[in-house]
Chain A
Amino acid sequence: MRKNSDIAFSTVLVAIFAFILFNGLTMDVRTRAFPVAVSAPMLALALFNLGRVVWASYGRKIGPAPELAGVTAPSEELTGSERLAALATAGRVEVDAATTRKRVVNILLWMAASFVLLWMIGFREGLPVFVFLFLWRESKDKLWFAVTLGVSTWLALQLFFGYFLNYPWPAPQIALWLGFDWPGIR
């Protein structure tokens, strides 16, 4: 599946340069000069690169990619995100493909959760909650440790970022929806 990922990435590049070029052509000369001057040769190069990738993938038989040396599962058995994820960790600590896929999905979900938390209840409250939950549930650390680090995060955000650096905390979305003032938000 590596070849499909490579083709997809190269196609995205072609699409970006094509969009910049053809959208730029609708602008006046001075506005479009730079992006068009750059994107025209880049589009040609991106098409050339796409052709090469497609040719290398389908035009002739290829062996296993050398980057997969550190992955335990045979490269031919990997598909989609397994291969993509495995490539990122190849050559170092050996993690089997199924575990890799599970962990990649896990961390993506945790990242999404942290974003939702900081967006909904704010940085100062959401991020400490995220730290606590991650350490407790995902990292399987002891409860006292997770609580300590969560509280430390909250203190650091309050004292250093809030009080000392005067960090521009945004209003939590939940406060905007419910229409009430959130303490400490100007």
Chain B
Amino acid sequence: MFDAAYDGLVALFEPATFGLMIVGIIIGLVVGLLPGLGGITAMVLMLPFTFDMSPTQAFAFLLGMFVVTSNAGELTSILFGVPGEGTTAATILDGHPMAKKGEAGRAMGGSLMSSAIGAFIGAGVLALGLPIVRPLVLSFGAPELFALTILGVTFIASLSGGSLTRSVLMGGLGFVLSSVGASPQTGVFRYTFDIAYMLDGIQLVPVALGLFAIPEIMDLAVRRSSIAEVDVGKVGGVMQGVRDTFTHIGLVSRAAALSAFIGLIPGLGSAAAQWLSYAHAVQTSPRKEEFGTGRIEGVLAPGASANAKEGGALIPTIAFGVPGSLAMSILLGAFIIVGLVPGPRMLSTNLDVTFSMVWILVIANLISIVFLFLLLGQLVRLTRVKGLILVPIILVLVWLGAFSNSSNFGDLVLLVVAGAAGYAMVALDWPRPPLVLGLVLGSLADKNLGIAHQRYGYDFFMDPTVMVIFGLAIASVVYALIQNARIAKARAAAGPPQGPDASGDPSGQPRQGAPHA
């Protein structure tokens, strides 16, 4: 095993392989910084170039490119409030408010450092998990996956920021929107209004861009100030962000481990991993009411998740040929192109190639983080650029990012609709994260519920694993409710509310800005 690990490392440092990894990293950084254009798009576009490459070269190029897009995407989310990747939207919630407060450097430093630690944990999980994880992965069927999605849904309670009714309604809206398109059970089209674009369902990328980017663009255009409303100084607290990572090393490690586990389970998806990590940070913080206003923990947890999940997702891809995410299914294409067959042989005769992937996860991340740390000074300055100069540039990137989703003008229409909804939600103080989480998890719940019911009837609810996961879900809700009650009590003790809020909250307490921001 150690010989294979050494061989994998040596193979990675061969000049051609290392050069290809650097090219992949540079492409990944550029693509990651552009809103909406994600690592998956880049991998699809670059896949044909791998035909003449050796297996290690192909993975160094593709995997190196893919893992760094998350790092760069986090920075776009922090700086502009625009998701650099469909899967980095959670970072906006606290990262962008930090940028507005002049703490972009701190947020980016924390994001990059936590991302590096997450990558190490993900790579560690991959290296150690390969031989022992087979029974776990194979034991997870549709009932367990359905139970896990329900567990994920209960995190909506943590994202409520005090207004549980609104959060549940937004989560429910995400769920029903996810049911648009073909039914995974029968193939019958639902709620499509005979519009061809709707047959594929409501797409995550245009919705995330619309909900988060359009309100930011309008905000910039109205305020006409720079993104940061205070002077950011030279680079503005990058090292503070790095120190924050180690101050909250427990949270970073837990978020990374949680994401590696979510990545490990085929079908739960990358976006879910980051949202659930963010929700975990909110849930475990004693100051959960401050999330959404610029808490560093709200940046560290999604940052740690960014690359840790890929380590987990690689395990079923390599060991069983079961892709743990959409990106992994594209990587599976690369396996076939370079003549490798995923499965037990990847753990025996091709173990060096497997270990080269572990090294790629670690080394590509280290290189990209060094690159990005060198660029931070310039990137932070963007937050002091006049808002009206950024507006057309961000809008161009948002149009391009949305259209690249499926090369259909329907993406742009969906972007506009989601943008209008996002603006109204910001104005009326409705939370946006539960809607995205509902959209991400809804289709998974729909599919797995159908399969589980068809296969086991309602008996699957009595499965011990399912019952344990449901137990965790109930505990998660109860914990969130207790936390909410504590916050309400603390507020009541702090002073009388100024007046009943217009949401109709009978308590009359002003809602906390928190994760809705």
Task: Verify if A53 is at the interface (C-beta below 8 Å from B).
Answer: yes
Least CB distance from B444 to A in Å reads: 11
| Given A33-B449, A34-B445, A45-B169: A135 touches B392 (CB 8 Å cut-off) | yes
Nearest chain A CB to B235 CB, angstrom units: 23
Given the complex, which residues of A lie within 8 Å of B386, measured CB to CB? 139
A56-B505, A138-B388 given; A13·B219 CB < 8 A: no
The minimal Cβ–Cβ distance linking B172 to chain A, given in whole angstroms, is 4
Number of interface residues, chain A, beta carbon within 8 A: 79
Evaluate whether A63 and B498 lie within 8 angstroms (CB atoms) in the complex, with A38-B179, A134-B391 already known.
yes
Q: Given A118-B399, A127-B396, do A31 and B175 touch, yes or no (CB 8 Å)?
A: no
Main secondary structure of the interface of A (DSSP, over half): helix
- Taking the complex as formed, is B221 at the interface, i.e. its CB lies under 8 A from any CB of chain A? yes
8 Å CB interface, A115-144 against B: 115, 118-119, 123, 127, 130-131, 134-135, 138-139, 141
Q: Which residues of A contact B450 (CB under 8 A)?
A: 30, 33-34
Q: Contacts A39-B172, A42-B176, A85-B222 given: A49-B409 contact, CB under 8 Å?
A: no
The answer to whether B502 and A27 touch across the interface, beta carbons within 8 angstroms, is no
User: Is B400 among interface residues, defined by CB-CB distance under 8 A?
Assistant: yes
Residues from chain A with a CB closer than 8 A to the CB of B190 are 24, 27, 31-32, 35
- With the chains together, A139 CA to B191 CA distance in Å? 42
A21 to chain B: closest residue by CB: B176
State A17–B424 Cα separation when bound (angstroms).
Answer: 18
How many residues of B sit at the interface, in one of the four size bands?
A: 35 or more
Q: How far is it, in angstroms, between the C-alpha of A139 and the C-alpha of B510 when the chains are bound?
A: 36
Q: Are B396 and A130 in contact (CB under 8 A)?
A: yes
CA distance A161 to B396 in the complex (A): 12
Are B504 and A107 touching (Cβ within 8 A)? no
**Residues 472-511 of chain B, each 1 if its beta carbon lies under 8 Å from chain A, else 0:** 0000000000000000000000000011111111100010
The distance in angstroms between the C-alpha atoms of A87 and B450, with both chains bound, is 43
What are the interface flags for B205-235 relative to A under an 8 Å C-beta threshold, 1 for contact and 0 otherwise?
0000000001101110111110001000000
**Which residues of the partner chain A approach B412 to less than 8 Å between Cβ atoms?**
115
Q: How far does the Cβ of A17 sit from chain B's closest Cβ, in whole Å?
A: 7
User: Given A67-B429, A107-B217, A53 and B183 touching (CB < 8 A)?
Assistant: no
Determine whether A89 belongs to the interface, using a CB cutoff of 8 Å to chain B: yes
Query: Which A residues are within 8 Å of any B CB, using their own CB?
Result: 2-3, 5-6, 9, 13, 16-17, 19-20, 23-24, 27-28, 30-35, 38-39, 41-42, 45-46, 48-49, 52-57, 60, 62-67, 84-85, 87-89, 92-93, 95, 100, 103-104, 106-108, 110-111, 114-115, 118-119, 123, 127, 130-131, 134-135, 138-139, 141, 149, 153, 160-161, 165-168, 170
The 10 closest A-B pairs by CB, nearest first: A63-B499, A52-B504, A56-B504, A42-B172, A139-B388, A107-B221, A53-B504, A66-B510, A35-B179, A34-B446
